Structure 1
Amino acid sequence: MSLVKVNDEVSLYVEDTAKRSGKPVMFIHGWPLSHEMFEYQFMHLHKKGHRCIGVDLRGFGRSDKPWSGYSYETFADDIEDLMTALDLRGVTLVGFSMGGAIAMHYAAKYSSSDRISKVVFMGAAAPCFTKREGFPYGMNKSDCDGLIAQSLDDRAKMVSDFGKIFFRSKDSQSREIMDWLFAINMQASPYATVKCLEELRDADLRDDMRKISERKLPVAIFHGIKDKICPFDFAKMMNKGIEGSRLVKFDNSGHGLNIEEKEKANEELTKFVELEIPEQQT
């Protein structure tokens, strides 16, 4: 592991399996998790010889927890600083839930960069997380306001209740898995937890989605059809809006598809990472 300083002198915790003969894969976690949520993907891809880089976003996991910088804009800049510090090229960027939205904004903002070669949107909270004009999917903004209020009143209960809709059913995973995820979630800064809910509530990345489509960046969309947090309509919208994107349905998963159907997630992710891209698409 290492700590890497990014903008504002914030130190990010990075788990890096170090240089391998295979390809680099960077994972961006969801709210309010950490890189630890990708445990099964790290183990599988490392065995296949690929370099896995997991980052705890500012405010989460073992990274610094400042009192500022919880926008997709700043997160994208943090990722760019991290890519630069590690001198990465040709990365497959994997973003889960809020991390998917951050990956989308990063790919659009740094569209001329050669640092990423492919993107995987995994249960992504994109292009929008809440309903608005022209986007009738997801939560109402008032639902996010309710989560914020709960977080300020009893964050532990809010996290526990949210965990009950993370999978296709509340009994689909062991009690131990649920306890493990709860512990990861509670590492997050209370301030970051609230500010990221505000960003999820308000952000609109439809223009970013169009930029990615114009770039013709290879994109895979992994999404559980029983997702109660980021409805499958999100995946259909991204698949329609990003030319050439590949939609992979997870029929037996809710939001946490990388755990519920980890064998399929690992196999599909490996195939996409190892997919050779024609030179004109890179």
Structure 2
Amino acid sequence: MGYYVTVENGVNLYLEDINSKGNKIIVFLHGWPLDHNQFEYQYNVLPGMGYRCIGIDWRGFGKSDSPVSGYDYNRLSDDIRKIVEVLQLDDFTLVGHSTGGAIAIRYMARHNGLGVSKLVLIDAAAPTGFTQETASKLLEETLHDRPNMMQGVTDTFFFQYITKSFSEWFLQMGLKAASWSTANIIMTLRDEKLYADLPGIHVPVLITHGIHDKVIPFSHAEELDKSIQNSQLVPFFYSGHGLFWEEHNKFNRLLMQFIEA
């Protein structure tokens, strides 16, 4: 079931809420510049196993409203808090991929992990995101030839082979975002650091990361594992930045094991 939640005046975020009667809740935060649909290969399995899966399109992405401002981690994490309050969510697992992982980390620190019992970080863009050089290149392409930028992202995202059809689906997902929100998040990934947020995480944390990741290097995951209490790092040996698809069977099993432990 899909519906909207108002997070501030004039800004409504789209949620896909699958199996609302599930007895264990998983909240998914997608990566840049995608939307909740990136977790299709989790939605195919987990609701049937009794989990309630809530996929959120951040502001500016997917089906959500696209205001001209509000693309820093504080505002994005405040949006998540508003959704948690409106839906009265508690004892849920928060899953964040790439920039979604960074937003999840800020949520844990800024809002004391309200309602979160466990945290899963997938190829998280943390504690830092893009280098100055990468950000400058992506920003230039976004402002002048966004489809070509998205094609480049698609080409470097995966380690395993993807079909032409999958590539087109993935590329079009990224192009659903507003151009200005796409650009703003690039600057956020360039400018914001999350080192000070990491000591504020006090729940069990599962860190998963593809060792062939060309977007966010595996060394970021190792740094997170050293800096977060009660964390475990699981490398994915056949994945780039998209282990949620490239090794989705392994990830789905691992996620359920982590939640049930």
Q: TM-score, normalised by structure 2?
A: 0.97
Partner SS state of residue 164, structure 1: helix
* 1:66 Cα deviation after fit: 0.8
Alignment partner of 1:175 out of 152, 161, 164:
164
Tell me, yes or no, if the aligned pair for 2:26 and 2:93 is still in contact at 8 Å.
Answer: yes
Q: Say if 2:145 is the partner of 1:144.
A: no
* 1:21 Cα deviation after fit: 4.0
Q: What's the counterpart of residue 101 of structure 1?
A: 102
What percent of counterpart residues are identical?
41
Task: Provide runs of 4+ in structure 1 moved above 3 Å.
Answer: none
CA deviations 1:119-175 (Å, max 9, x no partner) are 100010011114xxxxxxxxx312201110111110000110111100115xx1111
Q: Say if 2:25 is the partner of 1:39.
A: no
* 1:202 Cα deviation after fit: 0.6
* 1:251 Cα deviation after fit: 0.3
* In 2, Cα distance between equivalents of 1:245 and 1:46: 26
Tell me, yes or no, if the aligned pair for 1:222 and 1:248 is still in contact at 8 Å.
Answer: yes
Q: What's the counterpart of residue 116 of structure 2?
A: 116
Q: Say if 2:206 is the partner of 1:206.
A: no
CA deviations 1:215-242 (Å, max 9, x no partner) are 2x11000100000001100110011111
Q: What's the counterpart of residue 129 of structure 2?
A: 129
- In the TM superposition, what are the counterparts of 1:116-265 in structure 2 within 5 Å? 116-130=116-130, 140-168=131-159, 172-212=161-201, 215=202, 217-265=203-251
Q: What's the counterpart of residue 135 of structure 1?
A: none
* 1:112 Cα deviation after fit: 6.0
* 1:19 Cα deviation after fit: 2.7
Q: What's the counterpart of residue 267 of structure 1?
A: 253
Tell me, yes or no, if the aligned pair for 1:168 and 1:253 is still in contact at 8 Å.
Answer: yes
CA deviations 1:64-88 (Å, max 9, x no partner) are 0111101110010000000111110
Q: TM-score, normalised by structure 1?
A: 0.90
* In 1, Cα distance between equivalents of 2:205 and 2:227: 11
* In 2, Cα distance between equivalents of 1:79 and 1:244: 23
Q: What's the counterpart of residue 9 of structure 2?
A: 8
Tell me, yes or no, if the aligned pair for 2:19 and 2:51 is still in contact at 8 Å.
Answer: no
5+ unaligned residues in a row in structure 2: which ranges? none
Tell me, yes or no, if the aligned pair for 1:126 and 1:234 is still in contact at 8 Å.
Answer: yes
Tell me, yes or no, if the aligned pair for 2:29 and 2:36 is still in contact at 8 Å.
Answer: yes
5+ unaligned residues in a row in structure 1: which ranges? 131-139, 276-282
Partner SS state of residue 187, structure 2: helix
| Count of matched residue positions in the alignment of Structure 1 and Structure 2 | 260
CA deviations 1:90-112 (Å, max 9, x no partner) are 11000000000000000111116
